[in-house]
Structure formats: C-alpha cells, structure tokens
Structure 1
Amino acid sequence: MSRLTATVFAVTICLLATMAWAINHYRYNAITYKGQRDKATEQLTLANATIKDMQTRQRNVAELDAKYTGELADAKATIDQLERDVASGKRRLQLNAKCPANGTAGTGGMGDASSPRLTDSAQRDYFTLRERIVTVTKQIGYLHDYINEQCLD
C-alpha cells in the first residue's frame, strides 16, 4: 500500500505542478494581452483625438477660406463694376493733371485746355493694379488669420 500511496502522491504532485504551470502560463498571457489591449486603446484614443482635431481645423480653414474667397469675389465685382461705369461714362476717374490743348505744349488759358483723361492702356492698367492690390491684401489677411487660428494654437 505504501507503493500505491507513493504513486498516487507522485501523480498528484505532477498534476499539481502541471496545473500550476498552466495557470501561470495563462496568467502571463492574460497580463500580456491586457497590456497590448491597453496600449491599443491608448493609441486608438490618441488617433481619434487627432482625427477630431484635424476635422475641426479643416472646418475652420474651410470657413476662413469661404470668408476670404467671398470678400475677394465681392471686391473684384466692385472693381469690375467701377471699370464698366467708367467705360460707359456713368462715373469718371478723377485726376490731378494739367493738359495742354490738343496734346501740344504751350501756355494756355482756360479756353484751350482739354479735360484730363488717362489713355486707354493707362486706364486698364489702373484697374488691373486695383484688382491686384485687393487680391494681395485679401490673401495676406487670409494667411494672417490662418497662422493665428491654425498654426499658433
């Protein structure tokens, strides 16, 4: 009976050792998987926050772009209307100029002076210059706001 008891005791010890090893192995795996899960959850949270921030920034940039695109379109329309009004005679460009009579140099009085007027090419250049000034001013304003709202946050 002692041999049988020793064998049962040995088998029980082996089973307990095997079970302890299995329990320890699965516990280690569970801890490892939990750490991986926590790390993945943290990365997912960070990715979601980044996506949300990017979406907010994209919305803000779109609003800023729409604002300045609209202002630029309005300014160009105003300049185009002014140019059409000048061309039709509805409005006039006011100049500080002295003009000799009929393009000749000389001393003249009130009666021989023609009204000062820009040449056609100078008039086109004037409106082109106004349009470019408005465009550059709006672009600089847009970039200034973009830097303040998007880059300095």
Structure 2
Amino acid sequence: MTLKAWLIIGLELLLSILIIYILFGQISKETRRADAAESLAKQRQETITDMTTRQRDVAALDAKYTKELADAKAENDALQRKLDNGGRVLVKGKSSVPVATQTTGAASMGDDATVELSSVAGRNVLGIRSGIISDQKSLSVLQDYIRTQCIK
C-alpha cells in the first residue's frame, strides 16, 4: 500500500474515533439528563403522595370536629327548646359573698346551692355555653392540625 492509502486509512480511523468519542459523550450527557429527570419525577411523586395523605388527614380531622361541633350545637339547641317550652336552667355553685346567718348574725360563706335562672338569663347562659363550646372545638382543631400536619 502506498503512503497516501495509509494516510487515508489513518484519517478515517481518527475520524471514526472522534465520532465515537463525541457519541459516547452525548450518550453520557443524555444519561445524566435522564437520571436527573427521573429523580425529579420521583421527588414530585413523593410530594404528591405526601400532599394527598395530608389532605386525607385534614379532611378526617375536619369531619371529626364538624360532627362534634354539630352534636354540641344540637345539644345546646335542645336545651334552648326546653327552656323555650317552660324548662328551667339551674346553676349549682357556691356564693363568694358573705351571707349573714339569722341565728348567729355572723357572716359566712354561702353553702353549695342551686339557683334557678330567669328565662332571659338562661338564654344568655346557653348562648355563652355555645360560644365556649365552639371556641374549644376550634382550638382543638387547630392543636390537632399543628400536631398532625405542621410538626411532621
């Protein structure tokens, strides 16, 4: 073979090696991009799964406390209807106001007693009771939400 033929073969071999090198570099680059895309897709799927779980948990919390609040409201409404139909609101307590006794004339603390409230005062007590129950349920919901969702 002639020198010219050897040069042509050498150039073809060099070009072939260069093309193979470029192709392997491109393949390696595409493999890295595919791995990065796969990792990102996996991370996003984990985020979606976590969000779905959290949404389900929050919906369960909401259902639980909505039912408890509805039950408390129904109980309060029943008490209100009872009061409207002539029922009585009785409050048990101990007076902190000194009471003079008839026998000794000395002041003493009031004993445990039950007091019947007027219908207006009874409605006020039931309204206050309803607000307290609502506030307690709202606080419980927020505490459970923080414990189960925010601290995770």
Same fold (TM over 0.5): yes
In 2, Cα distance between equivalents of 1:77 and 1:116? 23
1:59-81 CA-to-partner distances (Å, cap 9, x unmatched) read: 00000010001100110010001
Counterpart for residue 132 of structure 1: 131
Give the AA of the match of 1:125.
N
Q: Within the alignment, does 1:15 sit opposite 2:9 as a pair?
A: no
- Residue 116 to residue 77, structure 1, CA distance change in 2 (3 Å): closer
Counterpart for residue 94 of structure 1: 90
Give the AA of the match of 2:70.
A
The runs of 5 or more residues in structure 1 that have no matched partner are 98-114
Q: Within the alignment, does 1:45 sit opposite 2:42 as a pair?
A: yes
3-state SS of paired residue (1:94)? strand
Partners of 2:54 and 2:149 within 8 A in 1: yes
Counterpart for residue 149 of structure 2: 150
Q: Which protein has the larger Cα radius of gyration, Structure 1 or Structure 2? A: 1
3-state SS of paired residue (2:2)? helix
3-state SS of paired residue (1:85)? helix
List 4+ stretches of structure 1 deviating above 3 A: none
Which structure dedicates a bigger proportion of its chain to strand?
Answer: 2
3-state SS of paired residue (1:76)? helix
Partners of 2:83 and 2:122 within 8 A in 1: no
Q: What is the identity percentage for the equivalent residue pairs of Structure 1 and Structure 2?
A: 34
Larger RCO, structure (CA 8 Å, separation 6 or more): 1
Give the AA of the match of 1:139.
S
Pairwise CA RMSD: 1.8
In 1, Cα distance between equivalents of 2:10 and 2:127? 98
In 1, Cα distance between equivalents of 2:60 and 2:44? 24
The alignment's TM-score, normalised by the length of structure 2, stands at: 0.80
Q: Within the alignment, does 1:55 sit opposite 2:52 as a pair?
A: yes
Give the AA of the match of 1:20.
I
Give the AA of the match of 2:89.
L
The Cα of 1:151 is off from its aligned counterpart by 1.3
Which structure dedicates a bigger proportion of its chain to helix?
Answer: 1
Counterpart for residue 109 of structure 2: none
